[in-house]
Amino acid sequence: MRKTTIRTTFTVLMSAIALTACSSQSVKETIGSGGDIKKPVVSSKTNNGATNGTLNPDGSSKVSTSEQNGSNFNYLPGSNNDPNNTQDITLAGLNDPNNLLSQRVIYFDYNRSSIRPEYMVLINTHSKLLAKYPNLKMRLEGHADERGSREYNVALSEARSQSVKNIMVAQGPRSDQLKTIGFGEEVPVVSGHSPSAWQKNRRVEIKYDDY
């Protein structure tokens, strides 16, 4: 429990670092739907060809897989129709920062529980891991940002974790391998009252028992 919390915190931290560290690579200034705040959109591509997910302050996000050599993650579940090809979807992958499975956070839009398309690959990959290891158990912990009332946010965050679960169970794992929980706005990863802080807190964290 403690371990996975640290790990997900680390993932978010890495995303934040990627945001600032990559600002020289491909930064565009855009005006979001809010209209009042400048939001740099960053796409991250690390030099060693690692798989990386980034979170943009405007709420959009990217799960990208580099084509460069050096990546030890070469399986693209979203583009592979062979359900038996799960060779890279292993428990070892959970602790490999170069494996997509090491990414455990899914972000959401304000007051929404629908899954952004860019997270489908990530969700499917975790789902296939669950299907491959029937004894593996997962908790999907939903969270909301601080805006709006607290119990409504509990319901919203539960709906977010249910959205993830619904996609996952369609891929094969037994539904009793997945447990959902809504923490509402009670457990933020970052303090602060800005759009970027809110975005980081609107999330579902994937947590594996014992991993």
Partner 1 sequence: MANTNKYKFLLTVLLFISSTVAIAELELRISKTSDDGIPIYLANIPGGANGIIEADLKRSGRFTVVNRSKINNLPPYGSVLNGGAYSNIADYIVRGKPLNGGLEVELTSTSDNAKTIYKISSNSNSRRVAHQAADKIYEKITREKGAFDTRLAYVTVTNKTSDNRLFRLYVSDSDGHRPKAILTSRLPVMSPAWSPNAQQLAYVSFEENTSAIYVQNIFTGQKRKISARDGINGAPAWSPDGNRLAMSLSINGSPDIYVANVNNGRLTRVTTSSAIDTEPAWSGTNSIIFTSNRGGSPQLYRISAAGGTAQRLTFDGKYNSAADIANKKLAFVRGNRGAFNIAIRSVNNSGADTLSNGQLDESPTLSPNGAMVAYTTLKNGDNTLAVVSDNAKSRQFLTSPVGDVREPAWSPYLNQ
Binding site for partner 1 (CB under 8 A): 1-2, 5-6, 111, 146-152, 154-156, 158-159, 180-184, 186-193
Sequence-ordered list of residues with C-beta below 8 angstroms from that of 33, at least 6 positions apart, any chain = none
Question: What kind and span of H or E run contains 159?
Answer: helix 150-169
CB of 173 to partner 1, least distance (A): 18
Nearer to partner 1, 88 or 185 (CB): 185
| CA 10 remoteness from chain centre | 12
CB of 93 to partner 1, least distance (A): 25
CB of 83 to partner 1, least distance (A): 29
* Burial call 136-149: b when 16+ CB within 10 Å, e when fewer: bbbbbbbbbbbeee
Please give the Cα distance from 37 to 21 (Å, whole number): 21
Nearer to partner 1, 96 or 146 (CB): 146
Nearer to partner 1, 94 or 154 (CB): 154
Nearer to partner 1, 45 or 143 (CB): 143
182 exposed, middle or buried (CB, 10 Å; 0-12, 13-18, 19+)? buried
CB of 118 to partner 1, least distance (A): 25
